[in-house]
Structure 1
Amino acid sequence: MKPPTTAPLSALRPAADLYGDVVTAYVDVSRTNEDGVHEVEVHAENLRRQLLDAGADDALVESVSARVLEPTGLGGETSRVIVAHGNELVTDALLAGAFPTRAHHGPIAHLLDLARATADELRYAVVRVDRTGADITVAGTAGPDRRELASEGDHDVLHKYKGGGWSHRRFQMRVEDSIERNAEAVAGDLDSLVVNERIDVVLLAGEPTSCSSVRESAGAKLAERLEILEHGGRAEGATDERLDEDVAAALERRRTARLDVVLERLGGGAKAVGVGETVEALRRGEVETLLLLEGALEGRQAYVGAEPLLLGHSPEELQAFGVDEPAITRLDEAMVRAAIGQDADLVPLRAPVGLLPDGVGAVLRFDSRPELTST
């Protein structure tokens, strides 16, 4: 199985480039019950008060609040992330799950949680297959949108005949041929789906013979993303509870495989280890992948300038680079901003890893530091 790559953060670049009087809002806009509309209105009003108290411009606050109240057209737990500056709403993203409503007004956008969700996302397809075709659900772990598709084979004979003799044998051959052609049709549809969309994982569930036939008919790109699950099916009345557990476990395996690839590169190539080295590498524009343990930098601050790569631990560091009035902000937000500003990837860490004692490090594109030589 090919480990999925991290999702690109390029869509966040316009927000990362902002500097001065930036508004960031994470808002729970879930509509999971009959009071959903009222609850969103309450969240919007709380957000409005937070931003006004923080000194944000009145007109900009009203614009952000109005966007929060716009229907998403989605059910279930959903959060909205808005970044605004001047008279413009720069970012308006929807995330799966209910984030606590909070707002920030300061020198840079607070993109850490949005970047973490984006980088950690897996796009996947759950395929419930039987002898006639397949039901396909396409979804992502970060976004709330889901699509339901169907793949129906060109079937003409699907039930085995209980008679005997030569006619029975010919009928059986037609049945097997029809099932095989249906599996080929499903595999062809899945091949197209993988090629045309960024699908990281294809999870196959259902009738065992059909699952095997689909796998045998899979093209190269589909085959390296395909995994057959133990539970779940297309039959009427089939329960999704154990299938959901299988899907969650499969996605976690893919995340682990992705992390293993990055850690292997960290162990054997150009790297930065620790906060000090990583900040310097970000400032030099050398980072390919930033690794950051959740909570590792809690309470720590940094100073930043107008460009994303302008960050440091003290005002003097920034003044040395020509920043007259460095702004203070959270260190983790400054590091993520710098990573986005140099088109780096982000790998969020959920647990400590031995290679990074303080939970911070980076795989580098190159290392411009002079090599140390022994004398």
Structure 2
Amino acid sequence: MTTATATDTGTLRDLLQAPGPFLSVYFDREARPQLAQAAQSRWRGLTGRLAEEGAAPATLDALTSEVMDRLPGTGVLAAFAAEGKVRHVVELPGGGHGDLAMSGPLPHLLPLMEWRQDHPAHVVVVVDRSGADLLLYAEGSTEPVRRTVTGPDDEIGRSSGLPQMRFQHRAEDSWEHNATAVADAVAEALGEVSARLLLVAGDVRARQYLTKHLPSRVLRDVSIGQVSGGRSEDGSGGGRAAQVAAEASAAAREETAELLRRLDEERAPGGHAVEGVHETLEALAAGRVGTLAVTDDPRDARTAWFGTSPTDVYERHEDFVPNGSGPLVSGRLADVAVRSALLTGADVRILEPDTPGAPSQGTGGICRFG
């Protein structure tokens, strides 16, 4: 079993390839100890319903033990269990739409993936004239990796005895050399977490030098914003953290909007968009989908069929041509589509129900090729 506050794509793929059936729960924990009894009652209601649906007692017991050990807590606890074992647990601070429990042949990953996409990878740099503090947030992470960059040049002080003009030139050169080192470290950090959002705080002049020395690929491909505060202990950390969270959330919304714009453009004749259940599953079966867009609606009871291969996906069982790869299994449509997309290297974007511009029948995407 793995436990995390972030879940990478590799972990999701491992879950999808593990043997089922799965129990998937999203449990909104109570932060206050005095409400622990109410949380336990809610949990008994969830597990009781799963038991009525035929969930294996050993798997329910494993889930219950895991969840009870984590009460009280904050945020949503997502847990996935099969064959009497909890396969993965992840804490989702501040997320969720209430309790959810599902049983099926596949783990129900869509709420986790939606939370993850709402927390895009980003880098925060707090810069001054001697260096910078960096905070690296991987996608779906609320806890950063922290680094300090110290520039190669010491800032020249007034005590150097240099004439004012010469002092100023030497100081400016020193600050710019330091900014170059920070810019290199920032570019490396952005690449390390695959971030397309950079948030800059700190000394105004140092920020100018940093922007000047960022590589052209960063200036071209990365959205750069500003947040308040500096490197000194001035009490600005809390306010800056709130600004960073707001900027990351706005970037996530823009990524969804950009996908919907692209989807609309690709609907034109000759475009690479597919939408609707039949067309999308056919494209997934051909390994053509580059980005899948799927609506997450717990009330959606539609099903599809899947086999052992990532491209064994069918709208109807009768569409399957036996090929020696094993029997087909019926699962929730959205879960089957997500499984095929992730296991064939496609990106996935989870949409809220009734999202304007969403693909027909809540399922669609943009293909790599026609």
For this structure pair, what is the TM-score category when the shorter chain's length is used for normalisation?
0.7 to 0.9
Q: Does 1:362 align with 2:361?
A: no
Offset at residue 56 of structure 1 (A): 1.4
Identity of aligned residues (%): 24
Residue deviations 1:38-73, cap 9 Å, x none? 77756655544343333211211111222334559x
Q: Is the 8 A contact 1:133 1:151 kept in 2?
A: yes
Q: 2:12 maps to which residue?
A: 12
Q: 1:87-142: per-residue Cα shift (whole Å, max 9, x none)?
A: 44333333343322322122332222223344565211111222233232222462
CA distance in 2, matches of 1:261, 1:216: 31
Q: Give the aligned partner of residue 302 of structure 2.
A: 301
The answer to whether the Cα contact below 8 Å between 1:9 and 1:343 also exists between their aligned partners in 2 is no
Deviations 1:233-273 (A, max 9, x none): 20524443556545544554455456655665565543422
- Counterpart selection for 2:100 from 95, 99, 102: 102
Which sections of structure 1, spanning at least 5 residues, go unmatched?
1-6, 368-375
Q: How does 1:196-275 map to 2 (within 5 A)?
A: 196-234=192-230, 236-238=234-236, 239-240=239-240, 245-250=246-251, 252-253=253-254, 256-257=257-258, 260=261, 264=265, 267=268, 269-275=271-277
Q: What pairs with 1:171-210 in structure 2 (closer than 5 Å)?
A: 171-210=167-206
Q: Map 1:136-147 to 2 at 5 A.
A: 136-140=134-138, 142-147=140-145
- Equivalent residue letter for 2:78: V
TM-score (norm 1): 0.75
Unaligned 5+ residue runs, structure 2?
A: 1-6
Aligned counterparts of 1:12 and 1:107: Cα–Cα separation in 2: 15
Asked if structure 2 preserves the Cα contact closer than 8 Å seen for 1:110 and 1:333, the reply is yes
Aligned counterpart for 2:125 among listed residues 124, 127, 137: 127
**Alpha-carbon contact 1:160-1:172 (below 8 Å) kept:** no
Shift of 1:201: 2.0
Change (3 A) 1:144 1:325: same
Counterpart CA distance in 1 for 2:343 and 2:15 is: 10
- 1:283 match: 285
Name the Cα RMSD after superposition.
4.0
1:129-169 CA distance string (max 9 Å, x none):
222332322224623323333333345336668x9x96222
Name which of structure 1's ranges 175-184 and 240-249 shifts more when overlaid on structure 2.
240-249
**With CA pairs under 8 Å and 6+ residues apart, which has the higher RCO, 1 or 2?**
1
Q: Classify 1:362/1:67 alpha carbon distance in 2 versus 1 (closer, same or farther; 3 Å).
A: same
1:352 alignment partner, SS class: coil
**Is 2:75–2:95's contact at 8 Å kept on the other side of the alignment?**
yes
Question: Cα deviations across residues 187-211 of structure 1 (Å, max 9, x unaligned)?
Answer: 2322332343333322112322211
- 1:181 alignment partner, SS class: helix
Q: Distance in 2 between matches of 1:331 and 1:254?
A: 24
Q: Is the 8 A contact 2:196 2:223 kept in 1?
A: no
